[in-house]
Structure 1
Amino acid sequence: MQIRTLVSSLALALSLTTSGVFAQSTSVPSEPLQLQQIRNATVKITYADTTFLIDPMLAKKGSYPGFENTYRSELRNPLVDLPMSADEVIAGVDAIIVTHTHLDHWDDAAQQLLPKDLPLFVQNAADAELIRKQGFRDVRILNDHTEFGGVTLSKTGGQHGTDQMYALPQVAEALGAAMGVVFQAPRHKTLYLAGDTIWRDEVDQALAQYRPHVVVLNAGYAQLSGFEGAIIMGKDDVLRAAQAAPSATVVAVHLDAINHMALSREQLSEFVDEAGIQDRVEIPQDGALLRF
């Protein structure tokens, strides 16, 4: 019985070890990885000499009404301008990743300005159909171990709000689905971008499976009116990520640019200092470059 239990344990460990393509690589990551915070959840990630533009929202300040039935809905979005021209944002991009099609991740300006022939990755067939109708010709559905430009992209799960919110069909439909993405390549640090999710079992599973060196969290604690909790992560989740992935750097984005964000960079920075994790957490200003 003990031998059988030991064999089963070894088999489980082997399964977890090999479930991420490079999660347990014995090689020491040495190639550079660059992340540029653009604005909100829009970031540029240069990985294995391939540049991905994530969740492009490219409109000028105040272009759209605030989201209805959310915190500070009287404010117009985005709250701040881009830190550079849209042309500079788009320059050098090899592919686009749209984690979901909410306005603050995929807006009218992005649809108009981005080249229609750029490869564009989405989470499911519904988003693919929508974006193809918007004129994009190379739309691909992301799944486990999608290869592009020397990078392995893997879709991860989550939930864009609380169980209480998703118990109401109309709210659940409005929130919809959203994905995270893991970036992997030989001799590169693994990067896990969690996307628009609260902390769920899927986040724990991604951290355990891929053992990322960099964890990017949408951490603005966006709130709906009339509900407790939030539809994305907040300061407590940044601390939780730092504790759950003690060897990783946590990067907090999706802050200060959209009306329903209830957590600012300044507030998060104060919390991070009080928690004593300031050496493990990056809170980049718009336009800032991070290298790992």
Structure 2
Amino acid sequence: MNIQLIRNATLVIQYAGKKFLVDPFLAEQGVYPPFSPSLRDDQMNPLVGLPVPVKDIIDVDAVIVTHLHLDHYDDAAKQLLPKDIKMFVQNEEDAVQVKQDGFVNVEVLQENTLFEGIQLIKTKGEHGRGEILQRTGQVCGIVLKHPEEKNLYIVGDTVWYSAVQEVIDTHQPQVIVVNGGDNQFLEGGSLVMGKEDIYEVYQAAPQAPILSVHMEAVNHWALSRAELKSYATEKGMSDRLLVPEDGEAYTF
């Protein structure tokens, strides 16, 4: 398997001979308004440009959209992706919207979805804690399995909670991708994992390398790559925690 971070939560994953695009956020730098009220309310999103040409990003076999927030599925993605490409979404509500956007090959992920011999397992997520969940809505993660590959867990936009532990216990992922920017609004707390959440993942999966993505790409991030790396050193988890730059890829 090869995992390339494009930007934010956008990944290109080569797995068991197939190529997946996860959470396509494909606009040019600075074309969307800031997420508000939050940090850096004067900065337009995305904060950074794409590190590779769009044509290379969208040259895939299938797209996985964990939820429909702008920084995971944007107007540029709707325009640039071929309308007949395979689109996997989390539920029927999202499927209706994606079909309205013109896509004709849309499938709702289940716990036993199969695509070209690859098992796609939808997992639960909580996009924050407490009352903010009424605003953030439903999200998912996904586990990929194939006999010739390591089990891959893409955690998605979630904080650490019991369901993440359950996925790790049940599926024994050998590679884990977390969304680790600790993104926040001014009130409501963390929307995705902060450094303490990532440490929980590290402790729960004592063998798996962990990639932290979803960092420094949209205005409401609260955890920098530098701070996470410093915390990883302090906690002794630098041996398995990878903090890729945009465009960087790893093979497992």
TM-score (norm. length: structure 1): 0.85
- Aligned twin of 1:34: 2
Query: 2:48, 2:217 within 8 Å by CA — same for their partners in 1?
Result: yes
Q: CA deviation at 1:201?
A: 1.1
- Bigger radius of gyration among the two: 1
- Aligned twin of 1:22: none
Stretches of structure 2 that go unaligned for 5 or more consecutive residues are none
Q: Secondary structure at the match of 1:51?
A: strand
Residue 220 (1) aligns with residue 181 (2) = yes
Q: Secondary structure at the match of 2:233?
A: helix
**d(CA) in 1 for partners of 2:103, 2:77:** 11
User: Where does 1:123-162 land on structure 2 (aligned, <5 Å)?
Assistant: 123-162=90-129
Q: CA deviation at 1:117?
A: 0.4
Query: 2:112, 2:121 within 8 Å by CA — same for their partners in 1?
Result: yes
Q: CA deviation at 1:234?
A: 1.0
Q: Secondary structure at the match of 1:269?
A: helix
Q: Deviations over 1:2-32 (max 9, x none)?
A: xxxxxxxxxxxxxxxxxxxxxxxxxxxxxxx
**d(CA) in 2 for partners of 1:163, 1:77:** 26
Residue 289 (1) aligns with residue 245 (2) = no
Q: CA deviation at 1:72?
A: 2.1
Q: Secondary structure at the match of 1:205?
A: helix
Equivalent residue for 1:82, pick from 15, 39, 50: 50
Q: Secondary structure at the match of 2:114?
A: strand
**d(CA) in 2 for partners of 1:111, 1:74:** 26
Q: Deviations over 1:87-138 (max 9, x none)?
A: 12112x0000000000000000010000010000000011000010000000
What is the letter of the counterpart of residue 205 of structure 2? A
Residue 181 (1) aligns with residue 142 (2) = yes
**d(CA) in 2 for partners of 1:265, 1:149:** 35
Q: Deviations over 1:166-201 (max 9, x none)?
A: 3xxxxx1x3110000000000310000110011111
More divergent stretch after superposition (229-238 vs 99-108): 229-238
Q: Deviations over 1:243-271 (max 9, x none)?
A: 11001111100001000110111111111
Equivalent residue for 2:15, pick from 35, 38, 47: 47
Query: 2:16, 2:148 within 8 Å by CA — same for their partners in 1?
Result: no
Q: Deviations over 1:55-80 (max 9, x none)?
A: 00000110100012222222110000
Q: Secondary structure at the match of 2:150?
A: coil
**d(CA) in 2 for partners of 1:200, 1:72:** 28
Q: CA deviation at 1:280?
A: 0.5
Residue 242 (1) aligns with residue 202 (2) = yes
- Alignment length (residue pairs): 252
Among all aligned residue pairs of Structure 1 and Structure 2, give the percentage whose two residues are the same amino acid.
45
Equivalent residue for 1:251, pick from 201, 211, 215: 211
**d(CA) in 2 for partners of 1:62, 1:123:** 28
Q: CA deviation at 1:224?
A: 1.2
CA RMSD after TM alignment: 0.9
What is the letter of the counterpart of residue 100 of structure 1? H
What is the letter of the counterpart of residue 244 of structure 2? P
**d(CA) in 2 for partners of 1:153, 1:222:** 27
Query: 2:160, 2:201 within 8 Å by CA — same for their partners in 1?
Result: no
- Aligned twin of 2:235: 275
- Aligned twin of 1:4: none
Residue 66 (1) aligns with residue 34 (2) = yes
**d(CA) in 1 for partners of 2:89, 2:148:** 26
Stretches of structure 1 that go unaligned for 5 or more consecutive residues are 1-32, 167-171
**d(CA) in 2 for partners of 1:273, 1:185:** 33
